[in-house]
Every structure is written in C-alpha cells, then in structure tokens.
Amino acid sequence: MVAIPSRHKSLVLLAGVIVLQVLMLAVQIKRDSEGRLIRVWTVGAVSPFERAGSNGFGWVRDAWRHYFALQNTTKENEQIRRENDALKLQISQLQGKAAEADRLAALLNFRQSHGEVPMIGARVIGTGAGTASLTIQLDRGEHDGIRKNMGVITPDGVVGKVVEAYPASARCWPIPASRVLLGGRVSHCWS
C-alpha cells in the first residue's frame, strides 16, 4: 500500500469524500424515478426489522386471541350446549307433531273413503304388563259403542280384535297374537 504522509491525510480524506459524493450524485440522478438513494438504502436496511417486528407482534396477538382470551369459552360452550339440547328437543317434538298430523290425515282420508262403515276413533293408551300378554289398551269402551269381538282397523288394514270391553276402555289382541280369530262375510260374489 502507498504510504501517505500524515500531514496530507486530511487532504486525501477530503478528496475521497468529494469523489464519493460526486459518484453518489451521479447514481442518484440516474435513479431519479426511484427516489433518493439514501432513502432507498435506509428502507432496505430497516424493513427486515420492521417485518420481523410486525410478524412477532402478530404472533403474540394471535396467541392472545386464541389462547389467553379463551377463558370464557367454557361457559359459552356450556350455554351453547344447553341451547343445542333445547333445540334438539324442540325439533323432536315438532317432528312428533308432524308425524301425528300425517297419521291423523291418513285416518281422516280412510274414514272419508269408507263413510258407509260405522267407525269409532280410538287411541292406544297402554300395553299389557306381562311378557306373555300381548294386549293393548284403547281409550274407548262400552260407553262409546265398543263391544267384545269387534275388529280394530287402521288405514293399513286389520290390526287386532277387542277381547274385553270396559265402560271407558277396551283391551285388544293385536293380529300377531296366536289366539286371534277373525271372521268375515262376503256380501256379494263376482261372477
């Protein structure tokens, strides 16, 4: 390396700074559309730290939202579960009512299509208590015109036979029971 006498060091340093300044002005003039060179260098040097800080704060914020701020979620989950159970119960009740409305509509159509046959509407109110007793209890009895050995029918067909009639209810054997005998009479024959 060239040795510079110590008395000329200041002069050489000044000349170097002036040459560097002229070169930087030349580059800045050439890059006029992109802004000042010092600003470009500053942004280039600072932006990685800004990006890292932003990502770090974002991570902390997300951690706070998804972990620490979830203290009340257990209570909210219990409330939502209770509401969900209540809604399920309500749906079940509504489905039951819709099924009952469909059954009643079928019974009404059955009754209207067989208007000449006397019918009494009844509802099943109980079943036999024993495992060997295949009986059902109806909510209609002798006061309503129910008699022993009457058939029990639905729109799907014959389902049973009245085995005992009480004043306000009747006991019936369903068709699968082995002791049920059904009789019928043909009113006219086809030739």
Over residues 126-161, the pLDDT tens digits come to 887 766 668 888 999 999 999 998 888 887 778 888
Pairing type for strands 157-165 and 170-174 reads antiparallel
Helix axes 37-66, 9-30, angle to 10 degrees: 70
pTM for the complete prediction? 0.43
Residues with pLDDT less than 70, the chain:
1-7, 28-38, 69, 130-133, 177-191
At 33, the amino acid letter reads S
Beta strands in the chain (DSSP E): 124-127, 136-138, 151-154, 157-165, 170-174
CA–CA distance, 59 with 148 (Å, rounded to integer): 81
β-bridge mates for residue 138, sequence order? 124, 170
